[in-house]
Structure 1
């Protein structure tokens, strides 16, 4: 059995670098340009895994051999056994993350392929609430907020993809000392209307983690 070491967002990033190599091979007439793109892709991918040695580096280094669509498919398929799953969560764990929601509607956990998600999210259509679960600093964190479809395209703050967006507005979980009972601070941003698409496009977790920390602060 393979020892996993590639997170979903890293897998997405590797695929983008492989696409760059394939596009260079297809469109560039200058051999030096092609070799430069290959070298850059290999270095960028290796930098994502500073502790990787031996077989792992060899596996990742195959990116320079992507010449055709078939090569691309073969390369990415070879990485799939090494994908690290999102932490398996139970319904009981999720309920504990959102204690104020007495009638919390849960996603179908059995239908999720945990290899391909960086964060777990689902929408409660009845309340227009979006729920997000993410392992921050080794601990599962739950964030909930108002979900408002924008019916327009722009760039998602999480994955940076140009797509249909929704405004996600969460209330900060902490309040200043001696603040009034009515005090609240909303933290909002625009994200993909589809959590599935967002997870498929994420190449970095920085923006998501920064948002979650701002909600917790």
Structure 2
């Protein structure tokens, strides 16, 4: 079997393009328009990957054969074995990432769908803290910060969807040269309160990785 090569956000992008193409096939009578949507979907799917083998590219092809709803569902389902799962971190490993927080509330790691996870995120309502765990290169890093609920829908900087969100603010560990001992810089963004929904919508990790780099240095 082919080695997994699709990350969660790439899979989300693929399913989004499938939805657009399926909608075009079912609502648009002009076949030239439908073909244009198909070509656009094919291009965006390929562009989501930096490197693809011929075998991987072949696996992602075949959109022209998708005509009915069950065809699209079967295509998406057939890609699931090729998802690269998020590292299966243990409760002990998470506590080590946030070792300064002695009363850390840890999510149930056994309930996580690692194949459909780009990052782990959760809140501790009692302390007003928000936590994020992400794989940066080969390392798993943890970011702790304050969260301020907006009590309304805001655009999440990670998935770009309008959802119930909070302002997540973390102190950057990066310091410029010759910075004074009391140098302080906070980095903040509006972020989904429910990470599962966010993980099902994210199609690009660029903004998330910029945030992680800004905080971790």
Give me the TM-score of the superposition, normalised by structure 2.
0.92
Residue in 1 that maps onto 2:191: 191
Residue in 1 that maps onto 2:18: 18
**By how many angstroms is 1:95 displaced?**
1.7
What secondary structure, in the 3-state scheme, does the structure 2 residue paired with 1:151 have?
Answer: strand
Residue in 2 that maps onto 1:109: 109
Residue in 2 that maps onto 1:43: 43
Residue in 2 that maps onto 1:171: 171
CA distance in 1, matches of 2:143, 2:85: 20
> How many residues are paired up?
216
CA distance in 2, matches of 1:148, 1:66: 45
CA contact (8 A) 1:151 1:164 kept: yes
What secondary structure, in the 3-state scheme, does the structure 1 residue paired with 2:34 have?
Answer: helix
CA distance in 1, matches of 2:164, 2:118: 19
Residue in 2 that maps onto 1:145: 145
1:128 paired to 2:133? no
RMSD of aligned alpha carbons: 1.7
CA contact (8 A) 1:170 1:187 kept: yes
CA contact (8 A) 1:21 1:64 kept: no
Residue in 2 that maps onto 1:118: 118
Residue in 1 that maps onto 2:34: 34
CA contact (8 A) 2:174 2:214 kept: no
CA distance in 1, matches of 2:12, 2:193: 19
CA contact (8 A) 2:122 2:194 kept: no
Residue in 2 that maps onto 1:100: 100
CA contact (8 A) 2:10 2:203 kept: yes
CA distance in 2, matches of 1:147, 1:74: 40
Q: Which runs of 5+ in 2 are unaligned?
A: none
What secondary structure, in the 3-state scheme, does the structure 2 residue paired with 1:154 have?
Answer: strand
Q: Which runs of 5+ in 1 are unaligned?
A: none
CA contact (8 A) 1:39 1:64 kept: no
